[in-house]
Structure 1
Amino acid sequence: MTDDFSEIEVVATNFNWRQSGGTTAVVQLVPEQAKTLKIAALGFDLPERVPRMRWSDVPKLFRRPAHRPFRIYHCRRNNEMMAGLFLKNVLGAPLRLIFNSAGQRRHKPLTRWMLRRMDAVITTSERSGSFLEVPYTIVPHGTDFQKFHPARDLRDDFAAAGLPGKYAVGCTGRIRHQKGTDLFVDAMLRLLPQYPDWTAVITGRTTADNLAYERELKSKITHAGLSERIVFLGDVEDIAVWYRRFTLFVAPSRQEGFGLTPLEAMASQTAVVASDAGSFPSMIRPGINGAIVPAGDKEALVAAIEPYFRKPELAKEHGRAALEFVHANFSLAAEARGIRAVYDRLWAEGQRPLGLSRKQRQATTGGTFSGHPDEA
């Protein structure tokens, strides 16, 4: 918790009880941003290492920060946008609103209405930006290299898990159709009987509405006699160690926003087979650090995984290339710098004389925008 709220320049919101990509972004990014900014997160399910503000501090948002003309309110969900608009436009809090968009679909009318009222919009990829009807700045997500790193000791070896086989192929994330868990299971049912040295590990939470889906998958596995080699671990305490234990990681999502899991695997020196959902294609160099398949294509998924099963050394070679690639292109520090540039542009605008249109202000501050310009 922060003690002197007057120093806080940025509030990052997380109004979601469940772990999600948005929560992961806040948890990883805010401590990195705090190295150069006075920032605090507001919301739920935030660990101690994340600088936070108390809910009782919300009334303090109506006072200007000590060293800025206004605070920046950085949000990632619709309910967070609603709260920001109410605080700023109805109650008059001295805020500027930023929305981080990772979605890859046409937004609903209410969302589009709120987006037009943001002071800036950040998107994680060109593909996500193509669905926006407002100016945006592209800042890809980064990866926490302190948490996700190659194996360092015996605990990081797959043998430490006590599961059968020499090599592990992993699939992480919530257990549901959208994430393609069934595609992964079906691929394993096809491949594992031919490759006895491999074991499949599935981690992630199963919500109540997906329990029947999970039971059906487990029933198929049991019927195939592979219950010991296709293992559901549930919501594990430390997912990072499992990335290090995997020789191959599979991200078979049918739909994604950005999708952090391949980057986390790559930072752990693990090769990746991923669908072309979300931003996965920007992370994979086919034949160099992994493979990309069409989303929902089970046959293509099987065909992409099998070369790694047949030749584990290929997976290790691509894992080394993956590590080099993610460090060069998807660092958390680079994400923090990209977002800071948007903050600084808004603060610079706040110091300029009134009377300029928003389009004129954008032209004078050198921000990077694409998409359809807002009306002045």
Structure 2
Amino acid sequence: MSGPFLDPAEILVVAPNFKRRLSGVTSTIVQLVPLQARSLGIVAFGPGLPDTLPKLRLRDLPTLFRTPSGRPFRIWHARRNVEMLPGIVMRDVLRMPLRLVFTSASQREHTGYTRWLIAKMDAVIATSTRTSAYLKVPSTVVTHGIDQTRFRPPEDRMEARRALGLDPALRTVGCFGRIRHQKGTDLFVNAMIDLLPSRPGWQAVVAGRATEAHGAFLADLRARVDAAGLSERIRFVGEHTDIENWYRALDLFIAPQRWEGFGLTPLEAMSCGVPVVASDVGVFSDVVAAGTGAIVPADDLPAMIAESAAFMDDAARLEGAGLAAHEHALARFPLEREAAEIGAVYEALWTSEKSEGSNRIRR
């Protein structure tokens, strides 16, 4: 099934995605655009997106030279450098009636080039207060939300495991995301090698993709698991577009990142009723509230092992934290809240007096 193609005159917002590989940014676009499209003429543009999303076709790009219906300009909402630059060219060189919004999730000092790009934006969104602190321009903080119709607890976790070919009788701990040193996948694997031999009622799942550059890293992890005799209980299952089904199979989620901009995986797990042990990076300490899991120092394997063991060895605590995690995610991180706050940024641009008759406004 192909997604709808809007009349170009009705397109008010373009959400470009210029990266084919699955990432947190891609996941955000995939979740947000369908919800935003219920009340806004928004389309995605670029490769690597589901066919069901409303999209801008390449052949329709020239129509962006015309002013949209009912608004003085369209909005180009970029989330990466590679998407900001084309927006600047279209607005400032080709003189298309566009205004540029950028969402930043990075929690580190930007390069000079990135600072230059960001300074050209008409509005900037930061995904957290920590992210905002690294920006040299004013920003609006909009934390991510989760599609809670997609990420929801299962009716039966044992059946969820059976459907995925996992041992349904074993409680399951998982670590999802790209497989690389920055993501701390080795910390998770080392923790499981330490914990599982004395806990026969548990198994572990690593879901995610290792790019060619990180192939040796993955091979080393597999070798460690094999040497520990745990290849049947620590499973590497690859990358999945239906990752919500894998969350539903879990009893505990580990987010072992050494560095992270925002990080959606703890929120996705919590929305599925799974407690989280997470490194103190990104916004994890803001997301994982008391009673929903635990925060450990980044790159601290002994702390990760200790907190994971505390949940694995206490069924009542594990169940209670899962229920609390789900309630917390429902209350604080609905996708509808994120969409509404982003919509308010768009509306502020459209209604700003400065945006009328000027090529660019600064925020």
Q: Which amino acid aligns with 1:125?
A: S
Which residue matches 2:251? 247
Aligned match for 1:177, one of 177, 181, 191: 181
> Residue 125 of structure 2 aligns to a residue in which SS?
strand
Q: Which amino acid aligns with 2:315?
A: P
Which residue matches 1:302? 305
CA distance in 1, matches of 2:93, 2:202: 58
> Residue 250 of structure 1 aligns to a residue in which SS?
strand
> What percent of counterpart residues are identical?
48
Residue 236 of structure 1: CA displacement? 2.6
* Structure 1 residues 156 and 51: CA distance shift in structure 2, 3 A: farther
> Residue 236 of structure 2 aligns to a residue in which SS?
strand
> Is structure 2 residue 66 aligned with structure 1 residue 74?
no
Q: Which amino acid aligns with 1:307?
A: A
- Cα displacement string for residues 309-336 of structure 1 (whole angstroms, at most 9, x for unaligned residues): 1112311110100000011111100000
CA distance in 2, matches of 1:184, 1:154: 22
> Residue 74 of structure 1 aligns to a residue in which SS?
strand
Matches within 5 A, 1:163-202: 163-164=166-167, 165-202=169-206
Residue 192 of structure 1: CA displacement? 0.5
Which residue matches 1:232? 236
Residue 48 of structure 1: CA displacement? 2.3
Aligned match for 2:10, one of 7, 11, 15: 7
Residue 49 of structure 1: CA displacement? 2.4
CA distance in 1, matches of 2:250, 2:157: 14
> Residue 121 of structure 1 aligns to a residue in which SS?
strand
The answer for unaligned runs of 5 or more in structure 2 is none
Q: Which amino acid aligns with 1:282?
A: D
> Is structure 2 residue 323 aligned with structure 1 residue 337?
no
Aligned match for 1:214, one of 197, 214, 218: 218
Name the Cα RMSD after superposition: 1.7
Does the aligned pair in 2 maintain the 1:156–1:241 contact within 8 Å? no
> Is structure 2 residue 104 aligned with structure 1 residue 101?
yes
Residue 352 of structure 1: CA displacement? 7.0
CA distance in 1, matches of 2:331, 2:176: 24
* Structure 1 residues 351 and 136: CA distance shift in structure 2, 3 A: closer
> Residue 143 of structure 1 aligns to a residue in which SS?
coil
The alignment's TM-score, normalised by the length of structure 1, stands at 0.92
Does the aligned pair in 2 maintain the 1:156–1:242 contact within 8 Å? no
Does the aligned pair in 1 maintain the 2:43–2:56 contact within 8 Å? yes
Matches within 5 A, 1:319-338: 319-338=322-341
CA distance in 1, matches of 2:116, 2:354: 27
| Bigger mean CA deviation after superposition, 44-53 or 337-346 | 44-53
Which residue matches 1:51? 54
Q: Which amino acid aligns with 1:8?
A: I
> Is structure 2 residue 135 aligned with structure 1 residue 126?
no
CA distance in 2, matches of 1:40, 1:353: 24
The alignment's TM-score, normalised by the length of structure 2, stands at 0.95
Q: Which amino acid aligns with 1:268?
A: C
Does the aligned pair in 2 maintain the 1:151–1:157 contact within 8 Å? yes
Does the aligned pair in 2 maintain the 1:158–1:167 contact within 8 Å? no
CA distance in 2, matches of 1:52, 1:156: 36
CA distance in 2, matches of 1:3, 1:102: 29
Does the aligned pair in 1 maintain the 2:173–2:250 contact within 8 Å? yes
> Residue 179 of structure 1 aligns to a residue in which SS?
coil
Does the aligned pair in 2 maintain the 1:247–1:312 contact within 8 Å? no
The answer for unaligned runs of 5 or more in structure 1 is 360-373
CA distance in 1, matches of 2:332, 2:277: 18
CA distance in 1, matches of 2:316, 2:179: 29
Residue 349 of structure 1: CA displacement? 1.0
- Cα displacement string for residues 139-188 of structure 1 (whole angstroms, at most 9, x for unaligned residues): 00110111100112577533444434520000101111011000000100
Which residue matches 1:84? 87
Q: Which amino acid aligns with 1:245?
A: A
Matches within 5 A, 1:358-373: none
Does the aligned pair in 2 maintain the 1:259–1:278 contact within 8 Å? yes
CA distance in 1, matches of 2:163, 2:356: 63
Which residue matches 1:367? none
CA distance in 1, matches of 2:76, 2:355: 20
Q: Which amino acid aligns with 2:84?
A: M
* Structure 1 residues 352 and 94: CA distance shift in structure 2, 3 A: closer
Aligned match for 1:152, one of 142, 155, 175: 155
Q: Which amino acid aligns with 2:240?
A: V
Does the aligned pair in 1 maintain the 2:72–2:356 contact within 8 Å? no
CA distance in 1, matches of 2:156, 2:319: 17
- Cα displacement string for residues 24-62 of structure 1 (whole angstroms, at most 9, x for unaligned residues): 111100011111111011111111221111011111111
Q: Which amino acid aligns with 2:221?
A: L
Matches within 5 A, 1:262-281: 262-281=266-285
* Structure 1 residues 247 and 330: CA distance shift in structure 2, 3 A: same
Does the aligned pair in 2 maintain the 1:202–1:231 contact within 8 Å? yes
